[in-house]
Copies of this chain bind each other. A is one copy, B any other.
């Protein structure tokens, strides 16, 4: 009961903070504005969080738990590395779509982490990126992807491409392309430079078939 009420209020503050940080940016956001938006007193914030930085960190951790498990589920739904990457792209963009405020915070504010919170090591984010690297590695083992591509570079390249696109969406009011098109273009461009044998058609790689012939 008390636990419930506490958790509910904790989440209410997180939600309010998400909106306020997205609206103003971290430094311009006033704790009192978060409090007002959450319908609590200024001081109440400090019953749930150590300080302003802690709100941002908690907010991020809370969200990342959801995002990571959601994404793991998505890419576990298929065996094919090609499809895994396609799903990753689409899910990532959908996620941004559904949660613009959060996306904006991740993109704009959390990039600062090395600055204003030296200590916060952002492990969840690294995990998220490594989902891609693991898929690439798997694809290489299966003989589907070029072996000379460095998975740690590839993960940054794909994530960066998706992320830059999201930034554009988040910061601009109108969008030119629908999400499926965008995800498809990004993953196809990424993939059919990544896939080993240029003679093959995209469809051939959807199934998890063995390598046939050179």
Residues of A within 8 A of B (CB): 24-25, 27-28, 107-108, 111-112, 114-116, 149-150, 152-154, 156-165, 167-168, 171, 176-177, 181-182, 185-186, 188-194, 198-200
Contact = CB atoms under 8 A, between A and B. Distances in A.
A115 B168 contact: no
B115 A28 contact: yes
12 contacts: A25-B115, A27-B116, A108-B112, A149-B189, A150-B185, A154-B185, A160-B163, A161-B161, A163-B164, A164-B164, A193-B194, A198-B199
A189 B116 CA distance: 35
Contacts of A190: 157, 189-190, 193
Contacts of A181: 150
A169 B106 CA distance: 19
Chain A binding surface SS class = helix
List the number of copies, as a whole number. Answer: 2
Contact of A156 (B27, B152, B168, B199): B168
A150 B178 CA distance: 12
Given A28-B116, A189-B194, A165 B161 contact: no
A157 B186 contact: yes
Contacts of A152: 176
Q: Which of A160, A191, A193, A200 has the most CB of B within 10 A?
A: A160
Nearest to A165: B156
Contact of A192 (B162, B177, B198): B198
A107 B111 contact: yes
Contacts of A112: 25, 108
A185 B149 contact: yes
A1 to B, nearest CB: 40
Nearest to A114: B171
* Minimum-distance CB pairs A-B, first 10: A160-B164, A193-B193, A198-B198, A25-B115, A157-B161, A192-B193, A160-B160, A27-B27, A160-B161, A156-B164
A101 to B, nearest CB: 13
